[in-house]
Amino acid sequence: MSSKTLTDHLVQLATPTPYSDAVNHPFLRSAGDGTLSNGLLSLWLSQDRIYAAHAYPRFIGALIASIPFDKSDGLKSAREAQNQRILKTLTFALENIVTEVGFFSETADTWRMELECWRERKGTRDYVAEMDSISRGKQLDDGLVFLWAMERVYLDAWSFVRAELEERGVGHDSPAAAFAKNWSSPEFQRFVNDLAGLVNASKIEWERAERIWARVVELEKDFWPSEREESQMRI
């Protein structure tokens, strides 16, 4: 039997939407070479704030509510220990997203980025709808795979941007560099690894996890705005 973990399998899986489309998107390549416009970055941040300030807390809350605590489980039982591990990780996610929403506002103020003048993109609506659908299903393992997938894509995407900025020696003092530093930090990497551990310890069928992973890759690719899209999305 293969010793490959589920998360390793998913990252290496060929998906209908290639993984590179999500983590090396033209938006990210522009962020990495210092050519990303303030307007397009502002549009993206306005959409990410919708996700972070509204959809993400609701999603995490639903996952916490679906943890199957059972009074018959002993305090030292394996299932109780795993449930507590899940709760600790999800609680961190909830606390961290509150910090990130504040980080968004501070970064926007520093770089004079407008966040209130944009319409909601279809990619944002589709992402939020999928998160709500997973939440309604009340399947904790599904939600953990979805959460890990979202965070893994962000880790890889912004690590790519950080590597590009460092290689080119550009944009060190820029909002893109601030975002890249945030989502490639050792703390964020540990969080993604903790989520991977939860997914790998779950009992989800691999084919089911593959479908969730493929959908997240598709959603992430569509979440990045296209060049000059900002000219069409102002209110």
> Quick one: average pLDDT of 106-113?
94
Statement: the pTM of the whole predicted model exceeds 0.85: yes
- Residue 70's pLDDT is what? 74
- What is the Cα–Cα distance from 197 to 200, expressed in whole angstroms? 5
CATH number at residue 27: 1.20.910.10
Q: What are the percentages of helix, strand and coil residues in the chain, rounded to 5?
A: 70, 0, 25
Give the pLDDT band of residue 72 (cuts 50, 70, 90): low
Residue 94, domain member (yes or no): yes
- Residue 112's pLDDT is what? 92
- What is the Cα–Cα distance from 235 to 218, expressed in whole angstroms? 26
Residue 234, domain member (yes or no): no
- Tell me if residue 118 falls in helix, strand or coil: strand
Give the pLDDT band of residue 73 (cuts 50, 70, 90): low
Residue 135, domain member (yes or no): yes
User: Is residue 165 scored above 60 in pLDDT?
Assistant: yes
pLDDT digits (tens, 9 = 90+) for 13-45: 999 999 999 999 999 999 999 999 999 999 999
Residue 95, domain member (yes or no): yes
Number of domains in the chain: 1
Mean pLDDT over all residues of the chain?
Answer: 94
Residue 1, domain member (yes or no): no
> Quick one: average pLDDT of 101-121?
94
Residue 232, domain member (yes or no): no
User: Is residue 2 scored above 60 in pLDDT?
Assistant: no
Give the pLDDT band of residue 80 (cuts 50, 70, 90): confident
User: Is residue 188 scored above 70 in pLDDT?
Assistant: yes
- Residue 1's pLDDT is what? 43
The separation between CA 131 and the C-alpha centre of its own chain, rounded to angstroms, equals 11
- Tell me if residue 68 falls in helix, strand or coil: coil
User: Is residue 219 scored above 50 in pLDDT?
Assistant: yes
Residue 104's domain spans which residues?
Answer: 6-227
User: Is residue 130 scored above 50 in pLDDT?
Assistant: yes
Percent with pLDDT over 90 in the chain: 89
- What is the Cα–Cα distance from 23 to 154, expressed in whole angstroms? 8
Task: Tell me the torsion sign for CA atoms 232, 20, 185, 9.
Answer: positive
How many C-beta atoms surround the C-beta of residue 143 within 10 A? 23
Nearest to 211 by CA among 49, 70, 21, 10: 10
- Residue 178's pLDDT is what? 94
User: Is residue 211 scored above 50 in pLDDT?
Assistant: yes
User: Is residue 170 scored above 80 in pLDDT?
Assistant: no
Task: Find all residues with CB under 8 Å of 56, minimum gap 6, and list them.
Answer: 93, 97, 131
Give Dmax over CA atoms of the chain in angstroms.
59
Residue 233, domain member (yes or no): no
Residue 190, domain member (yes or no): yes
User: Is residue 74 scored above 70 in pLDDT?
Assistant: no
